[in-house]
Amino acid sequence: MFETEKVIVEEWLSEFKTLPEPSISEYARRLKDKTALISSLYKVIEELQSELIEPVCHQLFEFYRGGEEKLQCFTLQFLPELIWCYLSTAVTQKRHSLGCIEALLLGVYNLEIVDKEGRNKVLSFTIPSLSKPSIYHEPSSIGSMALTESALFHHGLSKVVYSGPHPQRETLTAQNRFEVFTFLLLCYNAALTYMPNISLQSLCRICSRICICGFPQQRLRTYQEINYKIPVSAEFMVQMLTGIYFAFYNGEWDLAQMALEDVLYRAQLELYPEPLLVANAIKTSLPTIAMTSAKDGKRCIQVEITPSSLKISRNAVTSLSIRGHRWKRHEQDGPSNEAAEPGVLVIPELSVTKVAGERPGSGERGKGPGDSEAQQAQGVQDAAAEPRAESKGLPELRRQKSVRRVMEDGGTPAGRGPP
């Protein structure tokens, strides 16, 4: 570490000690813009043998314990680097230099697992239902699955995942370290939108190092300082992937792509199903055009969203159109008893078999053969062409057959005597 960086860190340590209470909020607001200070703090954390590492860790813990949100985010941005320093030093059996870093990590963990009253917190997460649209999907594009999810949603079967309560920890051991680190990364991911680019860069580099150290993939990377295998858990890798996915679309495309490949490589070796599923899902969802492009600032996720107003084709078959079609047929089949409007010429229908369903009266039986055979035949054809109601179809069909048989024999239909 250069002398100028050491001076910047020392000034930062002394500045906060003399700061009055009303000025803390304004100080916290300006602190995130001090890029030179943030870079110098990363240098201090990387060099564990520096004499400034202990006061820096103490100061970061004071920031977090104070309760000021911006100061807490300032401390959280160094979590990936602090976790890497602990893991890389623990595998080399040099635990004597980890006292201040372990105290800082345990302090943040013990503060986060309890609420303001000191009771253990239980975090709940509701899994989104695919039946509800979001910026990532539309239910109509899923097909039959949307109907199933909608039915489950309306029956109140939304799945809720709970995390906690988490126990208090006094020391970090091989059995509980990844339980603590997973929860710390969860807190880090909850504040990802406040993290500067240097923190996202540190996250991507550290994820790659943790996953490839001690494996053949390390020969393809520039980091060659540690050749020991660092054990990881599946839950910890899932939390790493959450931060990597955010870094993809926030200015760190190249580093995030490399970190994703390394995490997927390690997950395949360890046969962890959860990180394999998440890593492959992220890799599949990435746009193919931007996979090989250079870093050019912040990016955004492009999603096609269907319009809110549904457009139904005019020829589409719906339940409403089916009901309208049935009503129309029913009106055509039924008798028309409506009186004709004045001034409208009504042409009577010529039919031998009384298609409208009216039985011939007693006065109609004495009518002469005023209708020609062509009119009778036309009446038979009209009767056959006109649709019947279901209750009258069979009697009318029998009457048509009897009339046709009499006409073929050269006789006169019943009810049509000589004049």
Residue 4, pLDDT score? 83
Residue 333, pLDDT score? 53
Radius of gyration of the CA atoms of the chain, in A: 41
Q: In sequence order, what DSSP letters do the residues of 296-331 get, joined into one string?
A: -SB---------SS----TT---HHHHHHHHHHHHH
Task: Tell me how far apart the alpha carbons of residues 333 and 390 are, in angstroms, rounded to a whole number.
Answer: 9
Q: What percent of the chain has pLDDT over 90?
A: 27
Decide which of 311 and 263 is more confident: 263
Write down the domain spans for the chain.
1-116, 123-163, 196-291
Contact 335, 357 (CB under 8 A): yes
- Band (pLDDT 50/70/90 cuts) for residue 380 is very low
Write out 217-258 in H/E/C secondary structure.
HHHHCCCCCCCCCCCCCHHHHHHHHHHHHHHHCECCHHHHHH
- Pick the most confident of 11-20, 324-333, 352-361: 11-20
- Amino acid, res. 382: D
Residue 161, pLDDT score? 78
Contact 396, 355 (CB under 8 A): yes
Residue 46, pLDDT score? 86
pTM of the model: 0.65
Task: Tell me how far apart the alpha carbons of residues 133 and 306 are, in angstroms, rounded to a whole number.
Answer: 10
Task: Tell me how far apart the alpha carbons of residues 221 and 205 are, in angstroms, rounded to a whole number.
Answer: 10
Mind listing the pLDDT tens digit for each residue in 30-75?
Answer: 888 888 999 999 998 888 777 888 999 999 999 998 888 899 999 9
Is the pLDDT at 144 greater than 60? The verdict is no
Question: 205, exposed or middle or buried, with CB in 10 Å at 0-12, 13-18, 19+?
Answer: buried
Residue 80: both structure tokens together: 């990936």
Mind listing the pLDDT tens digit for each residue in 291-303?
Answer: 443 444 444 455 5
Tell me what the pLDDT averaged over the chain comes to: 74
β-bridge partners, 160: 126
Mind listing the pLDDT tens digit for each residue in 76-109?
Answer: 999 999 999 999 888 776 666 678 899 999 999 9
Decide which of 374 and 14 is more confident: 14
Residue 224: both structure tokens together: 């060659």
Mind listing the pLDDT tens digit for each residue in 341-367?
Answer: 444 444 444 444 444 444 444 444 444
Mind listing the pLDDT tens digit for each residue in 167-203?
Answer: 888 888 888 899 999 999 999 999 998 999 999 999 9
> CB-side exposure of 412: number of CA atoms within 13 Å?
13
What is the maximum alpha-carbon separation in the chain? Answer: 134
Give the dihedral of Cα atoms 300, 302, 303, 308; nearest 10 deg: 90
Sign of torsion over alpha carbons 365, 366, 371, 374: positive
Is the pLDDT at 233 greater than 80? The verdict is yes
Residue 15: both structure tokens together: 């500045």
Q: In sequence order, what DSSP letters do the residues of 331-375 get, joined into one string?
A: HHHS---PPPPTT-PPPPPP-SS-TTSPPPPGGGTT--S-S-HHH
- Amino acid, res. 405: R
Task: Tell me how far apart the alpha carbons of residues 109 and 35 are, in angstroms, rounded to a whole number.
Answer: 26
Residue 92, pLDDT score? 74
- Give the mean model confidence (pLDDT) for residues 110-136: 78
